Amino acid sequence: MDVLRRRVERALAERPLLTDGHVALGDLAFGSLATLNGSEVCGRGDRVAGVATRYAGRARAIALFAMEPEEALVLLRRHFAEAGGGAGAGPLGAYEALGRESGTAVVAALLGDGSGAGPDAGGGGRAATLRQEGDATLEEDSVIASLLATHAPSDTALAMLRLELHGARAGEAPLRAHVYVLVEGKPFVQALGGLVRPSGR
Could you give the domains of the chain? Answer: 2-191 (3.40.1550.10)
As beta bridge partners, residue 135 has: none
The per-residue pLDDT for 138 is: 94
Q: How far is CA 32 from CA 20, 148, 172, in A?
A: 35, 12, 35
Per DSSP, what are the bridge partners of residue 138? 51
Please give the average pLDDT of every successive group of 10 residues along the chain, which has 201 residues.
85 84 90 78 81 89 95 88 57 91 92 55 47 92 92 89 87 91 74 50 39
Report which of 191, 197, 130, 190 is spatially closest to residue 157, judged by C-alpha positions: 197
Q: Exposed, middle or buried by CB within 10 Å (0-12, 13-18, 19+), for 38?
A: exposed
CB 130 within 8 A of CB 107: yes
pTM for the whole thing? Answer: 0.84
* pLDDT at 191 (0 to 100): 60
At 149 the pLDDT is 92
Helix (H), strand (E), coil (C) string for the chain:
CHHHHHHHHHHHHHCCCCCCEEEEEEEEEEEEHHHCCHHHCCCCCCCCEEEEEEEEECCCEEEEEEECHHHHHHHHHHHCCCCCCCCCCHHHHHHHHHHHHHHHHHHHHHCCCCCCCCCCCCCCHHHHCEEECCCCEEECCCHHHHHHCCCCCCCCEEEEEEEEEEECCCCCCCEEEEEEEEECHHHHHHHCCCCCCCCCC
Task: Report the pLDDT value the prediction gives residue 74, as an integer from 0 to 100.
Answer: 92
- pLDDT at residue number 78: 83
The β-bridge relationship of strands 130-132 and 175-183 is unpaired
